[in-house]
Structure 1
Amino acid sequence: MIVKGIDHLHLHAEDCFAQAALLSDAYGFTLTARTAPEAPHQAALVTQGSIRLLISSAPHGPARDFVTRHGDGVADIALSVDDAAHAFRTLTARGAEPLSAPMRLPGKTVARIRAFGDVTHSLIERDDPTDPLPPTEHTLHPTTHTHPTTPLLHTVDHLAICLPHGHLATTADHYRHALGFDVTYEEYVTVGGQAMDSKVVQDPAGHLVLTLIEPDPRREPGQIDRFLTDHGGPGVQHIAFRTDDIAHAADTLRSSGVDFLATPHTYYDTLEQRVGPLHPPLDTQALRSRSLLADQDRWGRLFQIFTRSTHPRRTLFFELIQRDRAKTFGSGNIRALYEAVRRTETPHPAPATTGGA
């Protein structure tokens, strides 16, 4: 097994410190490190549990180009590996596109391959796994902020990826053949006149899970088509954060100003017919009062809720998910996301620049 999971996610942003402040103030992240105020290229690292998000901004260069094409978003899904040089040789021999050969940095060895569109995978070998700082060209200075004893959110559960039509099978095959991932779930979803196809791929240990989604062009255009247009090509639609207490997490985040997608009350009228009896603290009333969704597979249940995007292009948002033994997404998970977003979509101006990825 070459890929051990996610080392960190690297986001490019128009204003990295504004994004870091939002994640700290509203989502319970800690500002762990940042560049000096006078640095021409700015970056901030926020952490919570095992989640590490590096956010960078720049007046020019790759970060600026990414934001111009796509707006704020995930540019790199950095992967943890034991041996970056071996991983780079092996993955590129299997068909991964090389972007930068292994380079030795203080305490780390880093290589890079292409993921999809303009998103990359850095391959990170750490001398000290407890070192929170990601490898970056920016000089990050640790802060004196302390981490909460019990984080609200502790892991990146999965990432949802929107792909143009015709790219789903080839992207899933690429992860299967080049990176050694497994295809663990497939579903074709129709909602009204719209439809989409999806495949879930994950590393053998289940530490990195990607939900790959493409629209069906034979049906009416929908939210996936809109993402691809507004984002300027394929990319990460949302990041799902795992929590052990979704009711408490949702209540806390709401009190901090996070706006979640609303779920019609009729959703709950037949919920127990679909998932079976629900009991406190996550009974039907507790779910209804918070707009929490529930689903199940043959191993157990999961509960989830999606934030309303604050991105100017509506192309990035977050999910909270609690798994009670559930290992997959259940038959209603992707449909619930699609329907929840569709119900709450409102017209918004097209971005000024949506160049192809």
Structure 2
Amino acid sequence: MAAHARRLCHVAFHVPAGQRLARDLRRLFGFQPLAVREAEGWRQLALRSGDAVFLVNEGAGPRQPLYGLDPRHEVPSATNLCFDVADAGAAARALVARGCSVPVPPVSVKDAQGTATYAVANSPAGNLSLTLVERAGFRGPFLPGFQSVPSAAGPGWVSHVDHLTLACTPGSSPTLMRWFRHCLGFRHLPLSPGEDPEVGLEVTAGSGRGGLKLTALQSPPGSAVPTLVLAETLPGASSGQDQVEQFLARHRGPGLQHVGLYTPNIVEATEGVAVAGGQLLAPPEAYYQQPGKERQILAAGHEPSLLARWGILLDGEDGKFLLQVFTKSLFPEDTFFLELIQRQGATGFGQGNIRALWQSVQEEQAARDQEARRWGLGSASCPGAQGRLELRNTCKGLE
């Protein structure tokens, strides 16, 4: 049998000491500190919004961070998905039997609030590792070895993780899909009627501009693991790199590109993030002027001008709608971003919205490239969500 996961425990990140990810998650996105551990050169801070938990591992200790691996990756990124399992020992043995690498065999951690057992396996998706944790005997808010952090109630913008998207090298999606099916029991989730799992959903971005290939996977019935989406570039782009290719280049390989956070009220959440200073991707100006778009937004019960003000995308029909908004990268290296998503009966990911996101990211990249050329720098010299602002400030200081 495969090592079936029951639910997502947390998403872990590896960043240098002093990197501002934890601060931004709290200040810009409403996450609240949950628990902390400082030992052996590591500062590990867990933050929560609803059922979504992010673990930020800062530093580079002589030993592995608790519940994860130190990938010694070249740039900050999301490095680990931690899943709850019924039996960590049995799950690890199942993975080994399927030829998987388990660099951290089952180990138990105990404190005054109980015991948890975990193992860490390598995945075929770049630097992304998978932690399988058994914590039925633990009574604390997070995991043994961590101290609880008193905090006020958050704004409640996010309720849980909706999906996890991996950026993959071209042609690798079928192999990854088979690995997650064989080792963790995931199943193909069609995004279009009659979809071939080996082909996935192809979303073209226009003549000569390439597009995306998406393959969605879901966990077995009875589990609460978010949908896993594999994204790779379609051939056909006339020039330059698209956002998946940019991720692969700047991340130095495949990995977790973004996390979709579910919100029960995307207008309130987006406004809160924007007012707090969060940077959001603006859809193309023509998005809200598409024929039928205003009627579609009204049919979903929303105000077109309000969605346009905050850059919220809407797609769907027959009473089933999907609303999305995307942040800019949380790292200067352009290696991770967040998505806020609200579903009104829709279960897919909105082909029209994917095209709009594609265009907006490409326009953002073009603007960065233009700014770089203005100062005589390569585009890699000004990556990230704050690329243009930081470049302007840096260059002003040199004048």
TM range (shorter): 0.7 to 0.9
Residues 1:237 and 2:237 aligned together: no
Query: Which piece of structure 1 moves more, 280-289 or 239-248?
Result: 280-289
Q: How big is each residue's C-alpha offset from its partner over 1:23-72, in whole Å with a ceiling of 9 and x where there is no partner?
A: 11111111122235x86221211111111111112245567964642x22
Shift of 1:95: 4.5
- Going from structure 1 to structure 2, the CA distance change for 1:335 and 1:95 (only over 3 Å counts) comes to farther
TM-score by length of 1: 0.87
CA contact (8 A) 1:298 1:326 kept: no
TM-score by length of 2: 0.79
What's the RMSD between the two structures over aligned residues? 2.7
Residues 1:209 and 2:209 aligned together: no
1:170 counterpart (168, 175, 181): 175
Measured in 2, the distance between the counterparts of 1:84 and 1:65 equals: 20
Measured in 2, the distance between the counterparts of 1:99 and 1:351 equals: 35
- Going from structure 1 to structure 2, the CA distance change for 1:91 and 1:334 (only over 3 Å counts) comes to farther
**Secondary structure in 1 matching 2:248:** helix
**Secondary structure in 2 matching 1:98:** coil
- Corresponding residue of 2:246: 226
Q: How big is each residue's C-alpha offset from its partner over 1:283-327, in whole Å with a ceiling of 9 and x where there is no partner?
A: 322211211001226772110000111411112111100111212
Q: How big is each residue's C-alpha offset from its partner over 1:78-106, in whole Å with a ceiling of 9 and x where there is no partner?
A: 11111112222234334443332221212
Residues 1:52 and 2:57 aligned together: no
CA contact (8 A) 2:284 2:359 kept: no
1:155 counterpart (147, 156, 160): 160
CA contact (8 A) 1:11 1:74 kept: yes
- Corresponding residue of 1:110: 118
Shift of 1:249: 0.4
Measured in 2, the distance between the counterparts of 1:51 and 1:121 equals: 17
- Corresponding residue of 2:186: 181
Measured in 1, the distance between the counterparts of 2:242 and 2:344 equals: 31
Measured in 2, the distance between the counterparts of 1:232 and 1:103 equals: 30
Shift of 1:125: 0.8
CA contact (8 A) 2:300 2:319 kept: no
Q: Alignment length, in residue pairs?
A: 346
What are the ranges of 5 or more consecutive residues in structure 1 without an aligned counterpart? 353-357
Measured in 1, the distance between the counterparts of 2:21 and 2:173 equals: 30
- Corresponding residue of 1:82: 86
Measured in 2, the distance between the counterparts of 1:34 and 1:122 equals: 18
Identical columns (%): 27
- Corresponding residue of 1:200: 216
- Going from structure 1 to structure 2, the CA distance change for 1:78 and 1:190 (only over 3 Å counts) comes to same
1:72 counterpart (57, 69, 76): 76
Q: How big is each residue's C-alpha offset from its partner over 1:138-186, in whole Å with a ceiling of 9 and x where there is no partner?
A: x5322221333x6111111111111112211100111122211111133
